[in-house]
Structures are given as structure tokens and as C-alpha cells.
Amino acid sequence: MKSQPPDSSGFARLFSSDYLQARSRFTLAAEGLGIPCHRQSIPHPLAGPDGERLSLDYAWIGNPDAPRVLVTQSAVHGVEGFAGSAIQLDQMLERSGQTLPGELAVLHIHAVNPHGFLNCRRVNEDGVDLNRNFVDFSQALPANPDYDLLRTSLIPENLSDWERASKRLADYERDWGSTRFHQAVSGGQFNDPQGPFYGGAKPAWSREVLEGLFVDLKLASRQRIAVLDLHTGLGPYGYGELICDHPPGSEGVKMARRWYGANVAEPALGTSSSVPKLGLIDFAWQRAFGDRVCFLTLEFGTYPFAELMESLRRDHALHKSFSSQTEPGQLEQVRQSMMRHFNPPATDWQEAVISRSRQVIQMALDGLSSEELK
Ligand SMILES: [Zn+2]
């Protein structure tokens, strides 16, 4: 592996070594802002294996009644929280002491999925992909028949069948083409609780907390809301893609284009590293705030999709199907491989993440400020 340049920018130091450190640094930074900030910690019902306290934390910075609000979310996919938390910490440290205009507030939501963050997994405490959980559970759940065909190849019955299963997956991808294959695997599924990209059978704890915040923070009374949901693991190494899942031609897309220009990629048009997906967290914000919200995912690429799949398949296999055969060393190995894929220990990558996030967040703030208020 190429040797890494030293941390001359200081950006690498923003990346915490684990969830507990990330939460404590978030809390300290919010307390040390030197400007009005309302901070709250919402305890998770479960503790970590060593009794660690888990929570979703948020910091509301600026005027509580501001009509324009910038929101950042980290760790919707737990293990991706290292970068998201570093970005939020950077924002708070960089802007410490700087008063915001009265019309503007910033809301950082830290560790939306704290259990996944602590355990270096994408999914939550129930094996649910929170970013597929925002469907209407009172209706028939969406089907993904292509996933059902792949299911036993993704997570085979026995570890000894791993190589053959991987070969079958490669054959599917060759026969179906990349888009259909990616949609089958990662588009979301509701039939296989042990598999990846499982959307769950009911609203997750994190979803209920987030939708509670919509009410508690009176977000419906705001005139413009810019959300940046911070993710990692998909797309070219070090590049931060702005993914827009507002319906093509909608006001959300138009706002995204006004604020972020040609940076915006749209899965529905095939211009993104991502394919269209079911049950995204985006849809909760779009349903609640309509044309007043511009929700974008800021997704930082790391390594190729094939490596993502290998790490994810092993993570799910070891935690579920093969748990009786799993040795502690194997779990640690898979944890390391998830960490490496979603949080590369490389100063060049970390520097790219922080630089790009500063650029995108400034575009969001400028965009919000440029919109006329009624
Ligand atoms: Zn993600």
C-alpha cells in the first residue's frame, strides 16, 4: 500500500477512532461554540456490550425560530459515521464564535444510528438498513423479486459455499447488466431480515426519533430547509457526490440545481453512482416539508463496489447465518474490513472529505440565503 502523506492539514485529527470518542467530541464542540446553541442527547434503548451509553445527539445553532435551516445528518449507516461526524466537528470548530444571521440556523444531527456506529456496521440494532426503512408500513411492502433470486448467493447456507456463491453473483451481474444488478442488491428488500439492505418490518427507533424532531424543532414552520445526509462507501475514491432523489423535474431538483449547479447527480436519470432505491430517509423529509426542503445525500466514494459487497456479505453472514460457527477473531476481521471500506485510514481521503464538505456546506448556506422569504 502507498505510504500516506503526513496530516499537514490537520484534517485527519477530526476523524474519531470510535463512536464514543465521536460523540464526546461532538458534545464538547457544541458546548464550546461561544454562540447560542441548544444541544440535546436522546438515549438509545440499548447499551453497548460493555454497558456503553448510546444516543442520538443534536445541536441547534442560532435563532430557534430561524426561517432558513441547514441540517446535516451523520451515521444513518452507522459505520459511515466516522466521516459524517468529522465533517460536523469541523463545521463546529471552524465556525466557533461566528454568529449566524438571525434568519439562519444550523442543525447537526449526530449518530442517527448510534448502535451501528458503535459496532461498525451499516445496519441498526435489528439488522435494518435505516435508509430503506422510510416506507409506509400500513401498506403492502414493496417487492424486490430480483433480490429474492440472488438471496442464497449473497449469503450462502454454508461458509464452504462462499466461492461458488460469489461466482453465481458475478454471473448475475454479467447477465443482467450493472444497473439491474445494483438495483436488485442494494435497492432495498423486505423479505430477508438477515440480508443486507433490509428495510425492516416496522419504523425503527431512529426513524421515530427523527420524525419526533420534526415536531419538537417546529421544522414545519420553516420556509427553507437544506438537508445534507453524509454517507461513504459508494463512488470514486475521495469524490463527494451530491445525490438528489427528489422526483425529476420537481421543485426539490430545481432548488438543488440553483444551489449546487452541475454537482447534482440524479439516480432516476442514471447520472449517479447510486441507483433508485426504496424507503430512503429523503422521502420522510420530502413528505413532511414538500417544496420547502432540498434534501441531498453527500456520498464519499472509497473502494470499488465489489469490495463493498464482499465486506457487507461477510458482515451479514457472520452476524446472522453463521453465528454458531463464528469465532471472535472472525468478527474482529470483518469489523476491520467494514472500517477500511467505509472509513479509509488514509490522510489523502480524509483531506478530500473535509475539503469537499466545506465547499458543499458553503454552497448550501449561500443557496439558503439566496432564496426569497415570503
Ligand atoms: Zn450510506
* CATH code for position 76: 3.40.630
Banded pLDDT at 325 (limits 50, 70, 90):
low
CA of 68 to the centre of ligand 1 (A): 26
Which pLDDT score is estimated for 158?
Answer: 81
Instruction: Please tell me the distance from the alpha carbon of residue 133 to that of residue 189, in angstroms, as a whole number.
Output: 10
Q: What's at 260, amino acid-wise?
A: Y
Ligand 1 centre to CA of 122 (Å) is 7
Give me ligand 1 centre to Cα 46, in Å: 22
Q: For 185-199, write each residue's pLDDT tens digit.
A: 999 999 999 999 999
Is the pLDDT at 282 greater than 70? The verdict is yes
The mean pLDDT of 210-237, rounded to a whole number, is 98
Determine if the pTM surpasses 0.85: yes
- Chain segment 333-351, per-residue pLDDT in tens: 999 999 999 999 999 999 9
Provide the pLDDT confidence category of residue 4 given band limits of 50, 70 and 90.
confident
Question: In angstroms, what is the span from residue 3 Cα to ligand 1's centroid?
Answer: 27
Question: In whole angstroms, what is the distance from residue 88 CA to residue 74 CA?
Answer: 8
Ligand 1: centre distance to CA 103 (Å): 31
Is 240 within the bounds of a domain? Answer: yes
373 Cα–ligand 1 center, Å: 33
Query: What is the CA(237)–ligand 1 centre distance, in A?
Result: 15
Do 268 and 247 touch, CB atoms closer than 8 A?
yes
Q: What's the domain range around 213? A: 14-369
State the distance from the centre of ligand 1 to the C-alpha of 101, rounded, in angstroms.
32
Q: Is residue 6 part of a domain?
A: no
Cα dist from 21 to 40, 49, 128, 206, 362, whole Å: 17, 16, 24, 20, 27
Q: What is the pLDDT of residue 85?
A: 98
Residue 322 has pLDDT above 70, yes or no: no
Domains of the chain: total: 1
User: Using CA atoms, how far apart are residues 180 and 198, in angstroms rounded to an integer?
Assistant: 18
Q: Which amino acid is at 153?
A: S
Q: How far is the CA of 233 from the centre of ligand 1 (A)?
A: 7
Q: How far apart are the first and last CA of the chain?
A: 55
- Among residues 180, 187, 81, 183, the alpha carbon closest in space to that of 131 is found at 187
The pLDDT, as a whole number, for residue 323 is: 60
Residue 302: all three cell numbers together: 472509497
The string of pLDDT tens digits covering residues 60-107 is: 999 999 999 999 999 999 999 999 999 999 999 999 999 999 999 999
Q: Give the distance (Å) from ligand 1 centre to CA of residue 80.
A: 6
Could you tell me the distance, in angstroms and rounded to a whole number, from the CA of residue 234 to the centre of ligand 1?
8
CA of 65 from ligand 1 middle (Å) equals 31
pLDDT, mean of residues 141-170:
93
Residue at 93 is within a domain = yes
Structural domain includes residue 187: yes
**What does 311-367 look like in DSSP terms, one character per residue?**
HHHHHHHHHTTTGGG--HHHHHHHHHHHHHHHS---HHHHHHHHHHHHHHHHHHHHH
Given a cut of 80, is residue 3 above it in pLDDT? no
Residue 332 domain-assigned (yes or no): yes
In a domain, 9, yes or no: no
Confidence bin at 56 (pLDDT 50/70/90): very high
* Cα 196 to averaged position of ligand 1 atoms, centre (Å): 12
Dist. CA 328 → ligand 1 center (Å): 26
Q: Is residue 374 domain-resident?
A: no
Instruction: Please report which helix (H) or strand (E) contains residue 370, including its range.
Output: helix 347-370
C-alpha of residue 115 to centroid of ligand 1, in Å: 15
Q: How far is the centre of ligand 1, averaged over its atoms, from the C-alpha of 231 (Å)? A: 4
Q: How many Å lie between the centroid of ligand 1 and the Cα of residue 174? A: 25
Confidence of residue 324 (pLDDT cuts 50, 70, 90): low
pLDDT digit string, tens, across residues 68-80: 999 999 999 999 9
The mean predicted confidence, pLDDT, of the chain is 95
- 321 pLDDT band, cuts 50/70/90, is low
From ligand 1's centre to the CA of 74, what distance in Å? 9
* Cell of residue 309, nine digits: 459487497
Contact between 27 and 57 (Cβ < 8 Å): yes
Q: Taking 80 as the threshold, does the pLDDT of residue 31 lie above it? A: yes
Cα 36 to middle of ligand 1, angstroms: 31
Q: Is residue 89 part of a domain?
A: yes
CA-CA-CA-CA torsion sign (131, 132, 138, 139): positive
Sign of CA dihedral 119, 124, 129, 131: negative
Cα gap 208→219, rounded to integer Å: 15
